[in-house]
Amino acid sequence: MTSTTDDAAKTAEGPQAGQRPTASAGAATPSTEPPQPPGQDGKLTLAEILEMLAGGRLPLRFTAYDGSSAGPPDAPLGIELTSPRGTTYLATARGDLGLARAYIAGDLEIHGVHPGDPYELLKALADELVFRMPPPRAMARIVRSIGVEHLRPIAPPPQEVPPRWRRVAEGLRHSKARDAEAIHYHYDVSNTFYEWVLGPSMTYTCACYPRPDASLDEAQENKYRLVFEKLRLKPGDRLLDVGCGWGGMVRYAARRGVRALGVTLSQEQTTWAQRAIADEGLADLAEVRFGDYRDIREGGFDAVSSIGLLEHIGVRNYPSYFRFLQSRLRIGGLLLNHCITRPDNTSRPSTRGFIDRYVFPDGELTGSGRIITEAQDVGLEVLHEENLRPHYALTLRDWCANLVAHWDEAVAEVGLPTAKVWGLYMAGSRLAFETGGIQLHQVLAVRRDDRGAAVDLPLRPWWTP
């Protein structure tokens, strides 16, 4: 979820890394549960297999095309496996990727929740469903019951991008060409679709809720206000907004007399933002360009904002990223970096599974400590940082509500499989932000003079929280 990710969610690491949009299979905890009695042909039914893997504890109703069922008969939530192809997807891809493939292809149906917001079902799975690896003899029996024909991988749904090792045709990871392709995949879905999901603000990054009952639009306006104040912008200043999305920050600043330049790798975003700038009569102060932020030649900006871009940069490129942004600032200029993070600084940065293959190809997340370290190591002085994690959960809640409200139009615009991807991704990301699997940090830094001397700034934070 970002301006060219955000956050992610964009995504937030997502929907991002560190999150489980669905319950993860394959936990290697041995089970002592005795196997269920076999069917008349000596094979286990699909429901019996699931009960063995779940240790007999299912938080919802499961039904399958072989006529078997498991779980509480009166459960308000349910999953239905409708075809043998779904069994193959589940058996040949670990964890959330197999579940996502079956669901997006239509071989796994959900009951008791709307596909635009399956949050309650995902929460039940995450809270109560724990898969356990059966003993070897029981596992062999499960394999015989499934059948070898379901253990051979088949083509995934067409919405899935290839694995990372096969994306080399698009260039090295985080080269300009490959970054452009990744941004195109996620952001050039349909501006109309994004208008329904994001609402009038057309802002695909974490909002900042002034009150729990604030509307999404009010919270997004408040987020831009917070960034604007942290950057100490005033009429006549110059702002560079990298990864500017649909130009929300650019237009917010221009309305207040700031000359703002935004850049995005999404052609769809560029077209929409340029039209919005013209419609608001802001062309004298606001500009949005289609291109890579690394191609910006102007310098001497009073401030740089990066709202949801860092998730797309790649951790190994952080030094060059911060060095470049610093070079665009005047001495004493301020940088605000807003992005999705992991809750630690040691986890593998690359996203995997559903998020990487269906939402944010090549996305990478790391902890706020790593981000601060990299900014400091190029000479920036970090002044402040804060975690807006609960705000992203609320943002995703409201995006899902918008998708539900416009479900029929969204399906007509982008197709049922893509609409299902978005519902699954946003609901799963909401759960991950609620539980702390991913976070959202804002880091404020300043470019010191060539001698490293402090610049003239107030002694304490100067913005309204």
Domain segments of the chain as ranges? 186-447
Report residue 300 as tokens.
């001497």
CA proximity to 307, closest of 441, 432, 134: 441
Whether the CB-CB separation of 74 and 59 falls below 8 Å is answered with no
CA proximity to 445, closest of 360, 318, 349: 318
Sequence-distant (6+) residues with CB within 8 A of 223 are: 203, 205, 206, 207, 208
CATH class of 186-447: alpha beta
> How wide is the angle at C-alpha 286 spanned by C-alphas 282 and 291, nearest 5°?
140
What residue type is 321 in one-letter code? Answer: Y
* pLDDT by 10s per residue, the chain, length 465: 544 444 444 443 333 333 333 333 333 333 344 444 444 567 999 999 999 988 878 899 999 999 999 999 999 999 999 999 999 999 999 878 999 999 999 999 999 999 999 999 999 999 877 778 889 999 999 999 999 999 999 999 999 988 765 555 555 555 555 555 555 445 557 999 999 999 999 999 999 999 999 999 999 999 999 999 999 999 999 999 999 999 999 999 999 999 999 999 999 999 999 999 999 999 999 999 999 999 999 999 999 999 999 999 999 999 999 999 999 999 999 999 999 999 999 998 877 889 989 998 888 999 999 999 999 999 999 999 999 999 999 999 999 999 999 999 999 999 999 999 999 999 999 999 999 999 999 999 999 987 767 678 999 999 999
Beta bridge partners of 338: 307, 442
Distance CA 418, CA 410 (A): 9
Distance CA 372, CA 402 (A): 35
Distance CA 174, CA 411 (A): 31
Please give the full DSSP string across 159-195, using - where no structure is assigned: TPPPPGGGGGGG-STTSHHHHHHHHHHHH-S-HHHHH
What is the value of pTM for the model shown? 0.87
Report residue 110 as tokens.
């959900």
Whether the CB-CB separation of 300 and 330 falls below 8 Å is answered with yes
Sequence-distant (6+) residues with CB within 8 A of 409 are: 196
Report residue 86 as tokens.
């779904």
Strand 78-81 with 61-64, pairing: parallel
Distance CA 270, CA 148 (A): 50
Whether the CB-CB separation of 441 and 368 falls below 8 Å is answered with yes
